[in-house]
Structure 1
Amino acid sequence: MTKMEAPFEQLLDRLEPPVDAILGDVELMWAIGVGNRRNIPVASVWTMPAASLDK
């Protein structure tokens, strides 16, 4: 668990209407666990610039 996971779960508990999906950076692996525990679909996005792929 990270320092961000518990506050994120608390936010999910308070939001109205309830969250339909979670979109997170691939570096936020804990978001996948939160979505899975709550049966919320999760999509991970690679946000690195294209220049990072240059060899």
Structure 2
Amino acid sequence: MKRVPRFAHEAMATVFEIFVAGREEAYAGQAARAAFGEIDRLERLFSRFDPASEISR
């Protein structure tokens, strides 16, 4: 059985894990980084602990 790449990233005071099934692990890594980038973007917008966030203004 083929191994499914696992990627982890800490944001919003928790750890997000993404498993990406595909033929190329490099592409899976790009997809995971894009997803984590979106999580980070949302955290910057909606964090009540960041005085510069949209929700804190």
TM-score by length of 1: 0.25
TM-score by length of 2: 0.25
**Of Structure 1 and Structure 2, which has the larger fraction of its residues in strand?**
2
